[in-house]
Amino acid sequence: MPVPANLRYTAEHEWVDLSGDTATVGITAYAADALGDVVYLELPAVGSVIAAGTGCGEIESTKSVSELFAPVDGEVVEFNQQAVDDPGLLNTDPFGAGWLFRVRLTGPADLLGADEYAALTGGA
């Protein structure tokens, strides 16, 4: 499973792309593969304030439902309507077109590096 080196990660299998005070969030290829075909997404609304480690949405696949945890503290500034309309993008392009939402950071981000995340998933 790819673990792009330029991204940061959480133990809940999310990736975070930090750029200035903005963070783009998605789920990893490992998570997408484990979930199977994603069929429904519930993402935080623009303007909502999220706190790292708390639930902020849902990802539903044919087999299961997973809670989406906020990886950072911040305010949601945008979400990926294309992924809501076509949740299969999380399976086909989890690190690209399958991104979930963008946050304006309001606190320090406590995240894993690519090496740490790769180790966590057994280097799979």
Select from 2, 45, 46, 65 the one that contacts another protein (CB under 8 A): 65
Q: Is 35 in the site for another protein (CB under 8 A)?
A: yes
Interacting positions 73-92 with another protein (CB under 8 A): 91
Of 21 and 92, nearer to another protein (C-beta) is 92
**Which H or E run contains 35?**
helix 29-35
Select from 16, 29, 59, 72 the one that contacts another protein (CB under 8 A): 59
C-alpha separations of 77 from 10, 53, 55, 120 in Å = 20, 18, 17, 30
Of 59 and 72, nearer to another protein (C-beta) is 59
CA atoms of 37 and 102, how far apart (whole Å): 23
Q: What is the length of the chain?
A: 124
